[in-house]
Amino acid sequence: MLSPESAAVVRATLPAVGGALDEITTRFYGTMLADRPELLDGLFNRGNQASGEQRQALAGSIASFAQALLADPDARPDALLARIAHKHAVLGVTEDQYTVVHKYLFRAIGGA
């Protein structure tokens, strides 16, 4: 559930973030995988990284999630979350890896 304050932040930042998703995802994967190359072993498909499919999938998920939150701030986008959770479970994503992704994703969004 999205609070009115958080909805205002998402609504205000969505155009800037949405317009820069390609740059953000490129920066995110480039920085994270340079610092944490072990994540390429079984977690991130090298072919999808090379073709840009992984970046496009992440960008699409971010945009879809933000739009779903704004469309119905009192509900969770369960279908989207379930697809992502299933994929992560199949890959064996661990709790500590979410912390790593958070760090690099938010750094990429901030442009640092």
Task: Give the chain's residues under pLDDT 70.
Answer: 112
Per DSSP, helices labelled H in the chain are 4-19, 21-35, 46-51, 53-71, 78-91, 95-110
In the chain, domain spans: 4-110
pLDDT at 62: 85
Domain formed by 4-110, architecture: Orthogonal Bundle (1.10)
| Angle (deg, nearest 10), helices 78-91 and 53-71 | 150
pLDDT at 99: 94
pLDDT at 35: 95
pTM for this model (two decimals): 0.80
Q: Are 64 and 80 in contact (CB under 8 A)?
A: yes
